[in-house]
Structure formats: C-alpha cells, structure tokens
Amino acid sequence: MAAPEWRILVQLLKQLAVPKGRATTGLFSLEGYRSMERALRNHAPISEVLVSECFASAETARERAILAEVDARSLPLRVAPDAEVKSLMGGRGLGEVFAVMPLPAEPAWGDFVRSEGRSLVLVGWNIGDPGNVGVIRSALAREPAAFIAVGSSDPWHPKSVRTSMGSLFALPIRRVKEDAEWLQALNEREFETLATVCRDAESLPEVRLRGERTALVLGSEAFGLPEELVGQFDRRITIPMPPGVDSYSINAAAAVLAYTLMRQ
C-alpha cells in the first residue's frame, strides 16, 4: 500500500533540514505565514505545499488568503494531521504551513548592479549560525541590491529561511567559496569594499562613501574577518562602542551599518 502523499512530503521536509538533503534534491523548504506570503507575492516557483488539518479549515483571514492563492496557482496541496505538522514545527509558532521549492539559480554578477541609485551588496563571510544569515532581513529596509554568502554561510538552511522571514525572496543571493573570485568580481564592477571590524578603523558616523556601488562585508560571529582578507578591501569601518563592549550581534551590526551608510 502506497504511503499517503502528505507523509511523503513530511519525509522530504525532514530531508531538506540538512545540507546533504538540499544538495541531493536541489530543493529547500520554507515555513510559516510570513515566508509563505512573501514567496507567493514574489511568484517563487513553489513545488508543493503542506498544511495542517487545522490550517486547512481556514478559520482565519490569513489562512484563507494563502489557501486561495495556492488554489489560484494550482499548487499541489497536502493536508497532514495536526500532530505531524506540529512535530515538524518543533514548537515554533510561525504558522502551520510549509512549502518546497527548487534552489534558485545563481544570479549573474551583473545582477548586483542597479541601473539607478546606490547598489549596496551585503557579504556574509563564514557566518556559522544559520539564524544569523537572516541578516538579510535586518538590512532589507535599506534596500540592498544583493547578498553574497561566503563559505559556510548558508541562506537556504531552514533556520536561515525562517529568520529571514521571506526577505530572501526579495533580492539576488549567491553562494561562493572562500577564494578571492567573489572579491575580484566586485572589484571588476567597481564596488567599494568595506570590511567591518571592531577596532583600528574609520568610525561609522564619519564614513563617507566614494561612489554608487558599495559592498559591506560582515565576518563570522566568533572570529570576525581574517586580517589577510581585510587587507584586500578598500577600507576598514567600525561602529563606535562604549568601554567594555567589543561587538554587536551580526544582525544588529548589519542594521546599524546599512541604515547609516544608505542615509547618504
């Protein structure tokens, strides 16, 4: 006897929770109202949708709107028992809806340059905690042109997707290795590269950008940016802090830096 379609999708969602599963299938998943709404709004290529029986009863306007859009797009909808979906959620109250979709194609470097206005590219270098890759959300209010995930930074990890709250559907994202090719690509397109460091750097309030293209590089939570890499950037900048405080969280730093720089 074949397994119910919802059970097959539940197993797939569990597989996509680990890097090997995403690499093998070429898929990633999202969870919750906000991520689903943003994906639908941006016409993301959703393959399948899973909801709980409770969600399928459409008791709220938000649930009805999501289900109506899923139906309008003729997306395969699987309804699983409430207990199964709650188990997948692990106590997170984001909304009992999941979706699966293909990993997006790598954008061209030219996509990182806007035809008008400032092009701000955020670079996350070896950000180990997937939740911190949600830095995209922190800075999105300042309209970055793109995000580059270097090394272990994984924007498609379920925790990254959750933390971004759908922001990852709003801009080009490219994963790259640690080698210097990504930096060379930015230099070739005349981006001014700014290394964020804790000390011995230009103080953020005094920083004045030199052109319309800026790349803001954020390092790992534990070690920041390696000095040999920082030496290849155009400038070093820092957020001034009181004595006894040596750093912000990555998400807070991204928000402060992007807001201050883009006010120019």
For residues 80-95, average pLDDT: 93
Q: Classify burial at 49, counting beta carbons within 10 Å of its beta carbon; exposed 0-12, middle 13-18, buried 19 or more.
A: buried
pLDDT attached to residue 3: 55
How many percent of the chain have pLDDT more than 70? 94
At 226-243, the pLDDT tens digits run 899 989 999 999 888 777
Confidence grade of residue 75 (pLDDT, cut at 50, 70, 90) = very high
Judge whether residue 1 has pLDDT over 50.
no
Give the residue with greater pLDDT, 52 vs 161.
Answer: 52
pLDDT score for 12: 97
Asked if 170 and 38 count as a contact pair (C-beta separation under 8 A), the reply is yes
Contacts with 31 (C-beta within 8 Å, 6 or more apart), sequence order: 88, 89, 92, 94, 95, 97, 98, 158, 161, 162
Which CATH number applies to 5-102?
3.30.1330.30
What residues does each domain of the chain span? 5-102, 109-262
Bridge-based pairing of strands 97-102 and 27-31 is antiparallel
In this prediction, residue 200 carries a pLDDT of 83
Find the mean pLDDT for residues 129-155. Answer: 79
- Taking the C-alpha atoms of residue 34 and residue 40, their distance in angstroms, rounded to an integer, is 10
Position 2 confidence tier, pLDDT thresholds 50, 70, 90: very low
- The rounded percent of the chain whose pLDDT value lies above 90 is 51
Q: What is the pLDDT of residues 97-124, one digit of tens each?
A: 999 999 988 899 999 998 888 888 999 9
**pLDDT, the chain, mean:** 88
Using one digit for the tens of pLDDT, what is the confidence trace for 20-71? Answer: 999 999 999 999 999 999 999 989 999 999 999 999 999 999 999 999 999 9
Choose between 131 and 125: higher pLDDT. Answer: 125
d(CA 191, CA 120): 9
DSSP assignment string, 98-141: EEEEEPPPPPPGGGGS-SSS-EEEEEEES--SGGGGGHHHHHHT
Query: 194 or 134: which carries more pLDDT confidence?
Result: 194
Confidence band (pLDDT; 50, 70, 90) for 142?
A: low
Q: What is the third-level CATH fold of 109-262?
A: Alpha/beta knot (3.40.1280)
pLDDT above 80 (res 15): yes
The pLDDT of residue 141 is 61
Helix, strand and coil in the chain, % to nearest 5: 40, 20, 40
| 244 pLDDT above the threshold of 80 | no
